[in-house]
């Protein structure tokens, strides 16, 4: 009976160790995914800052082109210059 208990204990320890390794592997995968997501988020934020800067630069140009004859413009283009 003692031998059976020792055998079962050894099997259980082995099983627990195997599960620990599997959990470690999954945790590393999750960390990798989180790093990639964070990198993509930073890239997206950088692109948004660049676009915002370009929009601001275009807005800054609008007063200099406000002297353009707006009679030949239609729709959104005209509204942009009139605002």
Cα distance between residue 49 and residue 3, in whole Å: 69
Predicted pLDDT at 80? 64
Predicted pLDDT at 33? 97
- Of 4-8, 15-19, 38-42, the poorest mean pLDDT is in 4-8
Find out whether 80 and 61 touch, Cβ atoms under 8 Å: no
Q: What does residue 58 show for φ and ψ, rounded to 5 degrees?
A: -65, -40
Each residue of 18-67: pLDDT tens digit?
999 999 999 999 999 999 999 999 999 999 999 999 999 988 887 666 55
């Amino acid at each position: 009976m003692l031998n059976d208990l020792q055998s079962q204990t050894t099997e259980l320890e082995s099983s627990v160790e195997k599960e620990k390794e599997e959990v470690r592997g999954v945790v590393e995968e999750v960390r990798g995914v989180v790093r990639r997501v964070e990198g993509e988020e930073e890239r997206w934020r950088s692109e948004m800052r660049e676009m915002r800067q370009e929009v601001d630069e275009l807005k800054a140009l609008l007063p200099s082109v406000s002297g353009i004859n707006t009679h030949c413009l239609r729709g959104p283009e005209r509204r942009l210059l009139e605002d």
